[in-house]
Chains A and B, each alone.
Chain A
Amino acid sequence: MIFAAPAVLLALAALPLLWWLLRVTPPAPRRQIFPAIRLLAGLDPVEQEAARTPWWLLALRMLAAALVIVGLARPVFDARPALPGSGPMLVVIDDGWASAASWPRVLAAGDAVLDRLARSGRPAALLGTARTEDGMAPSPSPVMPPAELRARLAVLRPKPWPVDRFDAAAALRAWTAGPGRAGSGASVYLGDGVDAPGSAEFAAALAGIGPVTELRPDPGGERLLLAPREAGGALVAVVARLPVAGPSPPARVLAQSGDGRSLAEAVIEFPPGAASAAAPLALPPELRNALGQLVLAGTASAGAHWLLDERWRRRPVGLLAGDAIGAGTPLLGELYYLRRALNPYAELREGSLETLLARPLAVLILADRVIPDGAEAERLERWVEQGGTLIRFAGPRLAEHPDRMLPVGLLTGDRALGGALSWSKPAHLAPFPSDSPFAGLAVPEEVSVTRQVLAEPRPDLARHAWASLTDGTPLVTAATRGAGRIVLFHVSANADWSNLALSGLFVDMLRRLIALSAGIAAESESGLQAPALTLDGFGALGPPPVAAQALAGDAFARTVVSPRHPPGLYGPESSRRALNLGAALGPLAASAPIAGAVEEPLGAAAPERALGPWLIAAALALFILDLLLSLGLRGVLRRGAAVAASLALLLAAPPALPGAHAAERYPSLAIHLAYVVTGDDGVDQISRAGLLGLSDYVNQRTAAVLAEPVAVAPGRDDLSVYPLLYWPILADAPLPPADALAALNDYMAHGGIILIDTRGGAGGSGEDFNPGVDATLAGLGKALSVPPLAPLTTEHVLARAFYLLREFPGRYVGAPVWVQRQQDRANDSVSPVIIGANDWASAWAVDADGHNPYAVIPGGARQRLLAYRFGVNLVMYALTGNYKGDQVHVPAILERLGQ
């Protein structure tokens, strides 16, 4: 421990004088009202000596005074030794992206350095080694006292770009050359430990100043997200770091949507010594379209964010051929080349037109499939107008029967080029026009077209043509319909009419078309993209800094981020391009320590602790105690009051909450929703949170008053007091034991209602989320005495018990819900069991903050609202039975009344 102001300690010598002064001053008299004061007047006391201040009160005051003196002498614990050198000190801080992760420690270390400088009274200057936001090269601040430099240090922020060692070295050399600096300079270097170009020059320039004290962070803190890879249909996150020999904590990469919700997580383990590691992110294809960025959890830095632009979205593509049987034939089938071309880039779906359109679909490719007028055509037309992209390939059938769903009118029949009976030669492709989405793709010489369908000659035909042959006949035509678009390849999808399907151009053209499908207009590759949103040093998206400039569209891959081009999103709202920090940075390497520098760890040792404020505070407390005691001696303060006040503080502890488990012991005192314990903690938590959210919603919206939900185990707990039992089914759940089954059968037979939720069974949007559950449900249905079931319709009481519902979504939509057949009159027609796959508990669930932690799929506030409404109907159905059954007959009654 050292004293920063030891001279103050001399004041301790004055304490005996204080003692004497306090002793000769008598304490203030207490005041006493006394009616017989006349008798006291003029009494001559026998002894003139006044009462003395008690010795313990004197000691208390002396102690307080001593504490004040020692506190003002500013004692410091764990003080570091003074820094070398005597002249002004240059504090060099690496404020590039790599420092952001440990920035609070950097600032604390910088503060500690300034503390040490302030103690020895040395002025200092500050130099950040990265370029500033307005693109200026690093330059040191003016030399000023440490107290003033503290404000400059506090506003220093890490930058989202790497440090500039060359410019920093130049700034250091300029500093050394400054007047009066020779021989007396010294520096403190707070580095980020990451190697960068120019490190050697920088180290030399730093050593040129004078003695260097280097504060190095522990390696391994800096982590950088590199470009994710595509592998096997999954996105693989790659994280680079400084190699560390020993084991290190794993990195958690979150896949987040554009609005910041986490959709998936990958935990990446680093082998010892590895510079980078990777792990795949498991994402359903629908969610993958919503991906906005990858984030390294727990790291606030620009390097911990990888922004994803449109190129990373996957769009489900439906494939449908005219000839369903031979479509997949290798080398001959109409879908063979399409599958091969698209499989690495898109999620492919096949099936009937109705099946394909039942789920969200971005692109539908029809290979020589004629759409006859009728319901099918109307449905397809509606889908296109709502934003679908329909790609058609010609073929013998389409040539004979052109239908309505074409971009241009077709002449019946096809034309053959270069056949045995033709003079003409197979035609080649003309270069793509500049306004075509294919613009910029190279046209290979070998692609030739031997047959094609012909468009009706119309004045605006050229405007529809995206690709043409050298003779000017359109090869690819397109037209917009509503929000969607229809694209026609005038050749077949296999190698019959053209060898286009065999070339790499085919793949590129299809990828362009699919990238276009979300409504992104084609952009010219070389156009300038203005910065829209950029990351700051801590990885937060915000408006771009003033120095940010537009970036050419083809320069994104090779641009190193800098103040001119900060990492972030560029371009217009509809087609964002992302510039990422990790794109141009390779694997990280540790920088070499500065030669001859005194090394200290960054923030590893205990920080300096100033003791002065605490001593002064203790002295203040003693003075307050002294005041209370003095008042007590004078009789102003009643002893009881002081004791009562101190006791009141002690007794202000919060009272214990009684009966927290009252609901567990006396469930019949209130209405509780109940859920069956599955044994899977995660599922049970969801059930509980879901029923809690539903209970709150029911309490808000209806007259029913529901208490907290209760977990029950059939066979162990008495089920008869619960009106409704929520039972999520695990795919791998064993059959419940016999007594549990008996309890459940008994419950159903006596008026109870069980909602069985397979959480993602067949037929809904959550189809593959709980694979194998349908088999489990089938086994369960055999064991339970389930009555004959029918799909839940809008005619059922359950659809009208409170709200009038047409669909019954939970987290997922679309799967049918099964209830008891209506004509069974047992139990007042109230279905004892309701079976569905929509994962209602997840949709109902609320967390402690009142948020809904589980996204609904496909999404939207409306879906969650409907889920809650279904829950309310369910509770009402459980509480009131078929009371609302008359509602079902209202139309019939009204009709009868009308007659």
Chain B
Amino acid sequence: MTQASAAGPVQRSAHRAEALAARLPALLVAAQRVAATVAQGIHGRRRPGAGDAFWQFRPFLQGDPTTRIDWRQSAKADRAFVREREWATAQSVYLWRDASASMRWSSPLAAEDKRARAELLLLALAALLLRGGERVRLLGAETPALSGSAGLEHLAEALLAEPDGGSGLPPDAVLTRHSRVVLIGDFLAPLEEVAAAIGRLAAVPASGHVLQVLDPAEIDLPYSGRVRFLGLEAEAETLVPRVEHVRAEYDRRLAAQVRGLGDICTGAGFSASLHRTSDSPETALLSLYMALAA
């Protein structure tokens, strides 16, 4: 009881993500069915190497240590055979969410702001991954890769300890080659900057998924009349005499932004999806997980 009541925001955030993940047994089953290896967490690399699963016998070659000879197999034939096991590695998944000021905003149409939704989704995904035995780490953070159920709390701590700010784009961090990356943010920055940032990641090479989180008000522009718009990141004010008259143009620009982001991702080998904060987080989690499992 004392522990529960003394739980800080870190534990609460972790518990909430766990609770969200616990609501996805069906997702886990689906994931198992789609790709057993992914769902198991241990990815067979379809090639011999360090692992537990039997891969093949091959003839003893010069230079192989004699201790590796499978004597039982060798006895069946004239040649000596070596038992090879499949090379299995635990996948490291890099997670990132946008911490810029523009994420801390919500319209009356959404229950929580974009940052909270992004962190929730990030933690839920991490919970799923950790449960599956994957190793997760935050993109750009110094924390080591985390695994096991205890890793979720460390991850949440690291997430909340990270200060606000940032450019709204993933940082230029050192990645392991061929690792998977999940990027969550609003991606409202100019498309050239987004393309550069994702291109750097793709050059490592790394692949993954980009989840664009937007407030419903940002999508629908539900204002009318004479409105003076103010930005959150020191942008210039914009006075719109009649909002209803610019709504169509805004829709076009937003669609172009979303489409451009999708194009950038496809080109860099990333998948992309859009999530409204007014929708339930489970759908977004499912799409994320599906994208990772693919």
Partners in one complex: yes
Q: By the criterion CB–CB under 8 Å, are A40 and B250 in contact?
A: yes
Task: Select one of B114, B214, B228, B250 contacting A43, CB under 8 A.
Answer: B250
B231 interface residue per 8 A CB criterion: yes
For A28, A31, A43, the residue with the greatest tally of chain B CB atoms inside 10 Å of its CB is A43
- Knowing A29-B228, A32-B228, A35-B186, the reply to whether A40 touches B105 (Cβ < 8 A) is no
A37 interface residue per 8 A CB criterion: yes
Instruction: Give B254's nearest chain A residue, CB to CB.
Output: A39
B12 interface residue per 8 A CB criterion: no
Q: By the criterion CB–CB under 8 Å, are A35 and B232 in contact?
A: yes
Q: By the criterion CB–CB under 8 Å, are A30 and B227 in contact?
A: yes
Task: Select one of B186, B230, B246 contacting A33, CB under 8 A.
Answer: B230
Interface residue SS majority, chain B:
mixed
Q: How far is the CA of A39 from the CA of B235 in the complex (A)?
A: 11
A445: chain B residues within 8 A (beta carbon): none
Q: How far is the CA of A26 from the CA of B241 in the complex (A)?
A: 10
Instruction: Give B236's nearest chain A residue, CB to CB.
Output: A41
Residues of chain A in range 1-51 having any CB-CB distance to chain B below 8 Å: 26-41, 43-51
A48: chain B residues within 8 A (beta carbon): 241
Instruction: Give A45's nearest chain B residue, CB to CB.
Output: B245
B232: chain A residues within 8 A (beta carbon): 33, 35
A27: chain B residues within 8 A (beta carbon): 226
Instruction: Give A39's nearest chain B residue, CB to CB.
Output: B253
B250: chain A residues within 8 A (beta carbon): 39-40, 43
Instruction: Give B230's nearest chain A residue, CB to CB.
Output: A33
Q: How far is the CA of A710 from the CA of B190 in the complex (A)?
A: 86
Task: Select one of A34, A36, A40, A51 contacting B242, CB under 8 A.
Answer: A51
**How near does chain A come to B153, taking the closest CB pair, in angstroms?**
30
Task: Select one of A38, A43, A45, A47 contacting B188, CB under 8 A.
Answer: A38
Q: By the criterion CB–CB under 8 Å, are A34 and B231 in contact?
A: yes
Q: How far is the CA of A481 from the CA of B156 in the complex (A)?
A: 106
B236: chain A residues within 8 A (beta carbon): 41
Q: How far is the CA of A186 from the CA of B276 in the complex (A)?
A: 89
Instruction: Give B246's nearest chain A residue, CB to CB.
Output: A43
Number of B residues near A (Cβ < 8 Å) is: 35
Q: By the criterion CB–CB under 8 Å, are A51 and B230 in contact?
A: no
B173: chain A residues within 8 A (beta carbon): none
Instruction: Give B223's nearest chain A residue, CB to CB.
Output: A32
Q: By the criterion CB–CB under 8 Å, are A34 and B226 in contact?
A: no
Q: By the criterion CB–CB under 8 Å, are A34 and B230 in contact?
A: yes
B257 interface residue per 8 A CB criterion: yes
Inter-chain residue pair count (beta carbon < 8 A): 96
Q: How far is the CA of A33 from the CA of B234 in the complex (A)?
A: 11
Q: How far is the CA of A524 from the CA of B190 in the complex (A)?
A: 117
Residues of chain B in range 218-258 having any CB-CB distance to chain A below 8 Å: 218, 223, 225-233, 235-236, 238-242, 245-246, 249-250, 253-254, 257
- Knowing A39-B253, A51-B241, the reply to whether A45 touches B246 (Cβ < 8 A) is yes
For A28, A33, A34, the residue with the greatest tally of chain B CB atoms inside 10 Å of its CB is A34
Q: By the criterion CB–CB under 8 Å, are B226 and A43 in contact?
A: no
Q: By the criterion CB–CB under 8 Å, are A39 and B188 in contact?
A: yes
**How near does chain B come to A235, taking the closest CB pair, in angstroms?**
85
Q: By the criterion CB–CB under 8 Å, are B231 and A35 in contact?
A: yes
Q: By the criterion CB–CB under 8 Å, are B188 and A51 in contact?
A: no
Q: By the criterion CB–CB under 8 Å, are B229 and A50 in contact?
A: no
Q: By the criterion CB–CB under 8 Å, are B246 and A32 in contact?
A: no
Q: By the criterion CB–CB under 8 Å, are A29 and B253 in contact?
A: no
Residues of chain A in range 130-158 having any CB-CB distance to chain B below 8 Å: none
Instruction: Give B231's nearest chain A residue, CB to CB.
Output: A37
Instruction: Give A47's nearest chain B residue, CB to CB.
Output: B245
B215 interface residue per 8 A CB criterion: yes
B190: chain A residues within 8 A (beta carbon): 38
For A37, A46, A49, the residue with the greatest tally of chain B CB atoms inside 10 Å of its CB is A37
Per-residue CB contact flags for chain B residues 267-288 toward chain A (1 = under 8 Å, else 0) read: 0000000000000000000000
Number of A residues near B (Cβ < 8 Å) is: 25
Q: By the criterion CB–CB under 8 Å, are B230 and A32 in contact?
A: yes
Task: Select one of A29, A39, A47 contacting B239, CB under 8 A.
Answer: A29
Task: Select one of A35, A47, A50 contacting B105, CB under 8 A.
Answer: A35
Q: By the criterion CB–CB under 8 Å, are B257 and A39 in contact?
A: yes
Instruction: Give A26's nearest chain B residue, CB to CB.
Output: B226
Q: By the criterion CB–CB under 8 Å, are A33 and B226 in contact?
A: no
Q: How far is the CA of A38 from the CA of B192 in the complex (A)?
A: 14
B92 interface residue per 8 A CB criterion: no
Task: Select one of B103, B225, B253 contacting A51, CB under 8 A.
Answer: B225
A47: chain B residues within 8 A (beta carbon): 242, 245
Q: By the criterion CB–CB under 8 Å, are B238 and A30 in contact?
A: no
- Knowing A43-B250, A45-B245, the reply to whether A32 touches B227 (Cβ < 8 A) is yes
B13 interface residue per 8 A CB criterion: no
B207: chain A residues within 8 A (beta carbon): none
Q: How far is the CA of A48 from the CA of B215 in the complex (A)?
A: 28
A32: chain B residues within 8 A (beta carbon): 223, 227-230
B214: chain A residues within 8 A (beta carbon): 36
B147 interface residue per 8 A CB criterion: no
Q: How far is the CA of A49 from the CA of B232 in the complex (A)?
A: 28
- Knowing A41-B238, A45-B246, the reply to whether A36 touches B218 (Cβ < 8 A) is yes
Q: By the criterion CB–CB under 8 Å, are B105 and A45 in contact?
A: no
B223: chain A residues within 8 A (beta carbon): 32
Q: By the criterion CB–CB under 8 Å, are A45 and B230 in contact?
A: no
Q: How far is the CA of A36 from the CA of B217 in the complex (A)?
A: 9
**How near does chain B come to A851, taking the closest CB pair, in angstroms?**
59
Q: By the criterion CB–CB under 8 Å, are B102 and A35 in contact?
A: yes
Q: How far is the CA of A862 from the CA of B235 in the complex (A)?
A: 86
Q: By the criterion CB–CB under 8 Å, are A40 and B238 in contact?
A: yes
Instruction: Give A50's nearest chain B residue, CB to CB.
Output: B241
Q: How far is the CA of A43 from the CA of B232 in the complex (A)?
A: 19
Q: How far is the CA of A183 from the CA of B215 in the complex (A)?
A: 90
B105: chain A residues within 8 A (beta carbon): 33, 35
For A31, A39, A41, the residue with the greatest tally of chain B CB atoms inside 10 Å of its CB is A39
Per-residue CB contact flags for chain A residues 240-277 toward chain B (1 = under 8 Å, else 0) read: 00000000000000000000000000000000000000
For A27, A36, A39, the residue with the greatest tally of chain B CB atoms inside 10 Å of its CB is A36
Q: By the criterion CB–CB under 8 Å, are A30 and B230 in contact?
A: no
For B102, B214, B236, the residue with the greatest tally of chain A CB atoms inside 10 Å of its CB is B102
Q: By the criterion CB–CB under 8 Å, are A46 and B230 in contact?
A: no
15 residue pairs of the A-B complex, CB under 8 angstroms, read A26-B226, A32-B223, A32-B227, A32-B228, A33-B230, A34-B231, A35-B233, A36-B254, A37-B230, A37-B238, A39-B257, A41-B238, A43-B253, A46-B246, A49-B241
Q: Which residues of A contact B (CB under 8 A)?
A: 26-41, 43-51
State the 7 A-B residue pairs at the shortest beta-carbon distance, nearest first: A35-B102, A37-B231, A29-B226, A29-B228, A43-B246, A34-B229, A36-B218
Q: A34-B217, A41-B236 are known contacts; what are 4 more A-B pairs with Cβ within 8 Å?
A: A35-B232, A45-B240, A46-B245, A48-B241
